[in-house]
Structure formats: C-alpha cells, structure tokens
C-alpha cells in the first residue's frame, strides 16, 4: 500500500467552518484566559455530555492531575495498570500511591470483584478507566466507594459521548476527566475537561488551573497553568457540531471489521456491552498465538510491511514501565499482563475507506496458520 495508514486520523471541520468560528478573535484579541469561545464550549459540552458542570484544560492529563489535587487526597489510590501512562503519572505526581487492580479480561476495565481486598486504612480514592469506550461497572464502584467513604475519579479519555442506561458516562462518580487530544474520537486539537457535581471541587480545580489566582491581588494556592485557549475551544465547538456524523462513520468501520474478523479462532474482539451506546473509539483485538498460529508482534510487523501501523495499546502496563522499575510488581495483575502482551488496536477513523479495512483484515488472516 502506497498510502501510510496510521491507527488514527483526526476528524476536522471544513477550513471555512473553522476560520468563520475564529474570525471574531481578530476583533476581540481575547485569545486565552477563559474568553467567549472557552465559555461557550464549556456550556455546550455540559449539555452534550448530560452533566451539571464542566471545566476545560489545556490537555486531559492536567485535568486528571489537578482534579486529584483539588480533591485534597492523601494515601493510596486504587487504579488500573491497563491504561495510558498519564493516569498513573497523575497519581504519582500528586504524592499519592497507586495500588493496581487487575482487569476484567472481557472488557479490560477494572475487575470490581478485586477492589475491596485492595482497600486499606490508607485508601482515599478509586481511579477507574473506561477502556476503548467500554464502561466500567459503575454501579458496583459506586457501592464500594459509598461503603468505604472513597472518592471516585474516572479517566474517561476513551469514552467521550458514551451513554450507559441513558446517562452520559461523565455523570458517574465524583468527577470524570476527558482528553480532547487530536487522536481522540472528539478533539479540540489539544485539550481536556473535567465534569463534576460538587461546586466546591469546581472552585478548587478552576483555581488550580490558573496559578491559584483568586483576584488581581490574591493568590491563595500553588496552582498550574492549564487553561484552554480560544483557538482550541473554537475547534471543539466546530467538531461538536459534527459528532453524530463522525460516530456514524466510525460505526461503519467497526461493523466491517466485525464482519470480517468475527468467529476467527484465536482473535478476541472488543465486547459489545449491554445498555451502552458506544462511541466506536478503538478496535482492539487480542491475539491468542496458540490458537491463531501467529502472535501479536508478527501481525503488527506484517501490517507494517504493508504501510499499515496498528498500535500495541496498552503495552507495556503502567506498572511495568522503566521509570517505575522495582517500584511496582506487574505480576500482581496477571490478566492485565496477559492482555497487554497480546492486544493491538487496528486503524479506525471516520474517513477510513472500507476497502482499506478489508485489506487490513486480509493481511491479518494471511498470518493465521
């Protein structure tokens, strides 16, 4: 294949739509610091996601890191190693201790049956991750958190627009954080958000994203600079108008992958969850090398030789990366380790040609022995 096919490709509005959206910035010259685009985007996001409150950040990582700080936590946070490194870094950078829970091998989210045995007197919060758009077992997490008096902060970077039993996923827990990075289903080029219920938390996280500034003369905390600028907010406003169209296009790609790869011995496809309206964020496959006859790395190399770049996502586990060497034991999460060594996400984006999907599947099946 001559064209390089990456695992993702950003959806964008037309050039004319975006330039029309930003035209008034040349009049106002208000380019950052919570201007009109920022405030409009924040309001429209709350409505779309079905939540009471939303705040915007320069990226999804700062949304998580500053949300943890705003909660005033100390001690241990139960989380998952099957996630992007940002999740674990945010915990560690707050001086908190991550305690890793293994995953459910069907949907790759936190195995809720193991949470209670990990709770100690030092546990202060649970930080689950909605993986590939798969929704965590939110009711059981809520029950456990309520019983033990724990905060719940969801990493919802993969779950923008997902609904569970008619509710937006951002409405669960004390807060939910999103990434609007260019690679995501929905993006603002760079950006992030936190959705929340408690207004006191909202005031704290707003202050933290703006240096701790309360007024021109008062700075009452040690904050960061994590404000979304007006150009990113404008891109978000444009892309939000096209979400239903984007989701429909991504759905057709997923359906074609499923048609061609379903019931192939040795390939585990992403689960279809009951009561979930998905966002078709990723298309992971888990390769059982004994049944399929080739392993994940061999398939990735076969695709790469044909200019198709799948991603080993998530590999390695966050409790196994080099910067945490000898600090955590990945052997304590064996199911996450098993999936991490075998999972790959296939190219998936709104304008991916179905002929390319068919070629990708053909190359994968050529590896089967």
- CA 97, distance to chain mean position in Å, is 21
What pLDDT was estimated at residue 308? Answer: 98
Nearest CA to 70 out of 222, 258, 285 is that of: 222
67-109 confidence digits (pLDDT tens): 999 999 999 999 999 999 999 999 999 999 999 999 999 999 9
Distances in Å between the Cα of 151 and the Cα atoms of 68, 93, 126, 173 are: 10, 18, 6, 8
Exposure string for 97-133, b = 16+ CB within 10 A, e = fewer: bbbbbbbbeebbbbbbebbeebbeeebbbbbbbbbbb
DSSP-derived pairing of the beta strands 267-269 and 283-287: antiparallel
Per-chain mean pLDDT for the chain: 97
CATH 3.90.1150.10 positions along the chain are 243-366
What region does 132 belong to: left with phi over 0, alpha with psi -120 to 50, or beta?
Answer: left
Q: List average pLDDT for each run of 10 residues in the chain, which is 369 residues long.
A: 93 98 98 98 98 98 98 98 98 98 98 98 98 98 98 98 98 98 98 97 97 91 96 98 98 98 97 98 98 98 98 98 96 98 98 98 97
Range list for CATH 3.40.640.10 in the chain: 15-241
What is the rounded CA–CA span in Å between residue 91 and residue 118?
16
- DSSP calls for 230-260: HHHHHHHHHHHHTHHHHHHHHHHHHHHHHHH
- 3-state secondary structure (DSSP) of residue 72: coil
Q: How many angstroms separate the first and last alpha carbons of the chain?
A: 23
pTM here?
Answer: 0.97
**What number of other Cβ atoms are within 10 A of residue 168's Cβ?**
21
Taking the C-alpha atoms of residue 251 and residue 354, their distance in angstroms, rounded to an integer, is 11
Q: What is the pLDDT of residue 2?
A: 81
* CATH code of the domain occupying 243-366: 3.90.1150.10
Task: Give me the phi and psi of 99, to 5 degrees please.
Answer: -120, 120
Count of CB atoms situated within 10 Å of the CB of 28: 11
Helices (H), the chain: 15-22, 25-28, 36-49, 60-70, 85-93, 115-118, 138-148, 199-208, 230-241, 243-261, 289-292, 296-305, 334-340, 354-366
Identify whether the C-beta of residue 344 lies closer than 8 Å to the C-beta of residue 294: no
Q: Could you count the other beta carbons within 10 Å of the beta carbon of residue 13?
A: 18
Choose which CATH entry (3.40.50.970, 3.40.640.10, 3.40.50.300, 3.30.70.260) describes domain 15-241.
3.40.640.10
Distances 164 to 140, 251, 277 between C-alpha atoms, Å? 14, 17, 6
């Amino acid at each position: 294949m001559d064209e390089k096919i990456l695992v993702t490709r950003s959806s964008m509005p037309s050039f004319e739509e975006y330039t029309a959206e930003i035209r008034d910035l040349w009049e106002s010259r208000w380019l950052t610091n919570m201007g009109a685009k920022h405030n409009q985007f924040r309001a429209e996001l709350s409505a779309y996601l079905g939540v009471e409150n939303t705040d915007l950040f320069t990226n999804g990582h700062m949304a998580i890191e500053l949300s943890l700080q705003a909660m005033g936590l100390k001690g241990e946070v139960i989380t998952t190693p099957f996630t992007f490194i940002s999740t674990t870094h945010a915990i560690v950078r707050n001086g908190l201790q991550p305690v890793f829970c293994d995953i459910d091998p069907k949907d790759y989210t936190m195995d809720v049956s193991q949470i209670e045995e990990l709770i100690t007197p030092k546990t202060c919060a649970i930080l689950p991750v909605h993986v590939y758009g798969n929704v965590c077992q939110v009711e059981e997490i809520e029950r456990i958190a309520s019983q033990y008096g724990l905060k719940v902060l969801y990493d919802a970077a993969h779950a923008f627009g997902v609904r569970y039993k008619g509710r937006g996923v951002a409405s669960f827990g004390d807060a939910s954080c999103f990434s609007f990075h260019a690679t995501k289903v929905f993006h603002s080029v760079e950006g992030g958000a936190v959705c929340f219920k408690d207004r006191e938390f909202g005031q704290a996280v707003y202050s933290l994203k703006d240096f701790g500034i309360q007024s021109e003369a008062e700075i009452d905390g040690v904050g960061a600079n994590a404000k979304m600028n007006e150009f990113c907010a404008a891109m978000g406003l444009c892309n939000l108008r096209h979400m239903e169209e984007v989701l429909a296009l991504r759905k057709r790609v997923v359906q074609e992958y499923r048609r061609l790869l379903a019931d192939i011995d040795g390939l585990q496809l992403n689960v279809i969850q009951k009561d979930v309206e998905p966002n078709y964020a990723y298309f992971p496959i888990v390769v059982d090398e004994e049944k399929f006859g080739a392993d994940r790395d061999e398939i990735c190399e076969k695709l790469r030789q044909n200019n198709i770049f799948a991603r080993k996502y998530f590999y390695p586990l966050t409790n196994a990366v080099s910067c945490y060497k000898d600090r955590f034991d990945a052997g304590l999460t064996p199911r996450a380790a098993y999936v991490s060594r075998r999972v790959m996400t296939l190219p998936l984006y709104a304008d991916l040609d179905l002929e390319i999907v068919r070629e990708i599947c053909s190359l994968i099946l050529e590896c089967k022995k």
